[in-house]
Amino acid sequence: MRAFIHAFAGEPWNEECRTAKNGFSQLGIECILFSSNEELDQRKPEDVVVGGMLIGKNDNYMRLFVVMGGLVIICGICALFFVKDAPGLKPNKRGGFWRQLFSAFNYHELAKNKELIWVFLVLTVYFIAFNVYYPHVGNYMIYYLGFSPDNIGLIQGIALILGMLSVIPASRMLNQNRFVLAASVAIVLSVVGVGILGIFGRPGNVDPSTILNWNLLIGMFFFGCGYIMFMQVTSVWMKQLFPEEAKGQFEGFRIIFFVLIPWVVSPLIANPIIKRNGQITDANGMTAFLPTHVLFLISTALIVLTFVPLIFAARERKAGK
């Protein structure tokens, strides 16, 4: 992978350029100086567009982990100094340290809010389906469809960035408190997107040499719209239902339904599907398993199940009005 650094004519490798070069070199990235757009235009497109392509064609996953991990650490340090609590926020202390600690596991308060429980379950079912297929998208596109890591970064990046447009109609529905409708639209979009990948995302239907595979781009776009919209809707919906005096505790409950349960259940579903439908023999004669389009077809059906808790959430919401 190469990084291009612009310098003014007659000032090659000035102090700023040298600093940038040294930083990239430590990450194993070759730096090339250019002083005009004409010079840059002569380079390969895959060298210029970086984005999610830190892995590169040499499969340098360590570079990806180091850069992304470093960015997270930097963001965390910056947050310590620049993110401030709301001026009106006051501590809510009930008893001593140990009582406050174990109050996080007091499910009696949660049981009082039935609508919130069903919204949590909507989140759980959706992300069980999500974690069945999404962690395997990279292997699916690289080893099953034949794309290079940098190309799948472009395909996913373009589709998901365009998918952010879904926040516009979602915001309008949220402003009208139409949470059930917005969640339903998000689920339908996700079903369409993942379904397109399952039906049309097969080796015979794609060209790994280009990112212009419209079946994948359209499927990723619909999935991106649905996923981003779903996250937006459920986040606002849940936080409206959190008790003012126990928002932190209820964020902990959210993590149980959003992260813990899906990450325990999803592999139990995905692994047997992959082993049953994706068994291959590699170049060394060893048995390996790949995620195939079947994983996305089954995930589509699982996403549809999100409507079950959503129906009960809608009933509780209607009863509470």
- Asked whether the predicted pLDDT for residue 237 surpasses 90, the reply is yes
Query: How many domains, the chain?
Result: 2
Could you tell me if residue 202 is inside a domain? yes
Residue type, 267: P
Number of Cβ atoms within 10 Å of the Cβ of 70: 11
Tell me, yes or no, whether 120 and 69 share the same domain.
Answer: no
Average pLDDT of span 209-236 = 91
Tell me, yes or no, whether 133 and 280 share the same domain.
Answer: yes
DSSP string, 151-188: HHHHHHHHHHHHHGGGHHHHHHHHHTT-HHHHHHHHHH
- The gap from C-alpha 143 to its chain's centroid, in whole angstroms, comes to 21
pLDDT of residue 321: 65
Could you tell me if residue 278 is inside a domain? yes
pLDDT (tens digit per residue) in 170-179: 888 988 889 9
pLDDT of residue 155: 83
Domain encompassing residue 58: 2-74
Report the DSSP pairing between strands 279-281 and 287-289. antiparallel
pLDDT of residue 24: 47
Round the average pLDDT of the chain to a whole number and report it.
Answer: 79
Among the candidates 52, 74, 96, a domain finishes at: 74
- Helix axis angle for 179-200 and 307-320, nearest 10°, is 170
Average pLDDT of span 263-290 = 84
Between 43 and 143, where is the model more confident? 143
Could you tell me if residue 305 is inside a domain? yes
Could you tell me if residue 144 is inside a domain? yes
Residue type, 213: N
Band of pLDDT at residue 34, cut at 50, 70 and 90: very low
pLDDT of residue 102: 67
First-residue to last-residue Cα distance in the chain: 57
Tell me, yes or no, whether 284 and 138 share the same domain.
Answer: yes
| 177 class by beta-carbon count within 10 Å (0-12 exposed, 13-18 middle, 19+ buried) | middle
pLDDT (tens digit per residue) in 46-79: 333 343 456 665 666 777 788 888 988 999 999 8
Between 190 and 64, where is the model more confident? 190
pLDDT of residue 74: 93
pLDDT of residue 233: 93
**What pairs with residue 34 in β-bridges?**
6
Could you tell me if residue 102 is inside a domain? no
- Domain CATH number, residue 163: 1.20.1250.20
Among the candidates 44, 74, 104, a domain finishes at: 74
Band of pLDDT at residue 21, cut at 50, 70 and 90: low
> 71 with 16: CB under 8 angstroms?
no
- Taking the CA atoms of residue 196, residue 201, residue 207 and residue 210 in that order, the dihedral angle to the nearest 10 degrees is 60
Band of pLDDT at residue 6, cut at 50, 70 and 90: very low
Residues 6+ apart with CB under 8 A from 85: none
pLDDT of residue 192: 96
